[in-house]
Amino acid sequence: MTCKSFLPLPLAGEGRGAGKPLWVAFVLLLSTLAACGNYSNEDLEYMNAVPARVDIAAVIPRSLILPANEAELSRLTHDVINAFNGALLFLEAADVIRRYQPTSRIPHGRVWGPAQMEEHPDWQWRFRITRDPAAPDVFSYWFEVQRFDGGDVWISFIEGTFVATGGVRRGTGHFHIGTDGLRAGGFPVDINAKGELLKDLDVEYSTAEFPIWVKMHMVLYTDAGLGLFKDTVMIDYRHEAQSNGQGAMEFSGTDSKTGWTLSIVSRWMSTGTGRADARAINGAGVDMTRTQCWDDSFRQTYDYTPWDQPPDPIEEGRIEDCPDISTL
């Protein structure tokens, strides 16, 4: 006989915390009768297969007090990384599985929930994860939501795969977040202040060894605030991180209305010193690249901006003073 463990996930229909002492007393009573608990190595392997935000978020040196004359592309890099990391906030939903034991252990899998959603009391969620019996290192998982009166229909919110290579959350994986199904099912999605809504987010990553890399493809509805859900922008990120603190971020965005594509490749040292190359192209054959470098206080040390005063672009500083960073 296996009893439930000591720190259970509050399930749908259960009060949070209410009656917990009795529950604990009951478990302690049960534990005197038979083997009981949540002591499991396999649980850890399932938990290990789901990425934590901290594992794949980009880390760039920054100061609490940035100079007023911070290099423009340094500031843009910080903004891009903030956006990149912000997109990964969705992963915090999956972090719940590392706070609670599985609700049930199924053959070759684990299930957390169903549990009531705190911010949407009419909805409940569950997290399922399975492993391939023929390839035990390969995991698939789904984070799903359901309206309480929604019958048997569960709407997928996050789904992903992971191939473990050993170590704490070390491996390669992919996950997809989509909101179209949520909207269709009536789930109250959040639209940001700009009237944007994430449509799709696809993330591939490898934490198996350095450099750790993450590729993110994001599609945003830009007219969500108007309730149209037609116009979109696609943004692509690629991030790499070395064990010595070096990092790089490639950002690429395309505006479906203007046809312009802007791509920026930023690289930085663990000290904060960095360089960014921003390339702008459009369908009319314009293709220009701006290069800017900064020191460890994020002040510009070099800048070449081809589009400011064509045909005689501005060049300030010496390109030789830019750091040589091989990442990306």
Partner 1 sequence: MGRFPVRFALLALLAITAAASTARAQGLRRFAIVAGNDTGGGDTKSLLYASADARKVHEILTRLGGVKPEDATLLIGASASQMLSAIVAVEMQAAEAARRGERTALLFYYSGHAKDGALRLGETRIPVDGIKARIASSPIDVRIAILDSCKSGAFTRTKGARKAPAFEIQSESPRDAKGMVILTSSTSDEDSQESDTIGGSYFSHHLASGLLGGADKSGDGRVTLFEAYAYAYDRTVADTAESAAGAQHPTFSYDLAGNGDLVLTDVAVRHEGVYLPREAPSGVYFMVDGKGFVAAEISKADGVDRRVALAPGHYRVKRRLPDRLRIGEIDVPRGQLVALAEARLRDAPFSDDPVKGAGRVDLTSRWSLGAGATYQSVFAAPSGASLFPPTGMLAVDLSLRNFLRRDWIWSFDVAAGSADGVVTSVGAPFKFSEVSLASSLLVEWPGRYMTPFVGGRIAMLLMGRRFTDDIYPQQFFSTLSPGLVGGAAFRVMKNTSLVARGRLHYLLYNIDEDRSLGYWELAAMVSYDL
Per CB under 8 A, residues contacting partner 1 are 1-2, 5-7, 31-45, 47-48, 98-101, 105, 164, 166-168, 170
Other beta carbons within 10 Å of 272: 17
Backbone angles phi, psi at 214, to 5 degrees: -140, 130
For partner 1, the closer of residues 115 and 164 by Cβ is 164
For partner 1, the closer of residues 52 and 249 by Cβ is 52
Distance between CA atoms of residues 235 and 261, nearest Å: 10
Rg (CA), the chain: 24
For partner 1, the closer of residues 164 and 293 by Cβ is 164
- 292: amino acid identity, one letter: Q
For residue 108, the minimal CB distance to partner 1 (Å) is 12
Tokens encoding 188: 């109250």
For partner 1, the closer of residues 4 and 217 by Cβ is 4
For residue 173, the minimal CB distance to partner 1 (Å) is 14
For residue 52, the minimal CB distance to partner 1 (Å) is 8
CB-based contact 9:104 (threshold 8 Å): no
For residue 133, the minimal CB distance to partner 1 (Å) is 14
Measured CA to CA in angstroms, residue 237 lies from 34, 51, 57, 60, 219 at distances of 52, 18, 12, 15, 12
For partner 1, the closer of residues 35 and 286 by Cβ is 35
For residue 92, the minimal CB distance to partner 1 (Å) is 15
For residue 44, the minimal CB distance to partner 1 (Å) is 5
Distance between CA atoms of residues 141 and 258, nearest Å: 38
Distance between CA atoms of residues 277 and 275, nearest Å: 7
Other beta carbons within 10 Å of 2: 11
Cis omega (within 30 of 0) for bond into 136: no
For partner 1, the closer of residues 1 and 65 by Cβ is 1
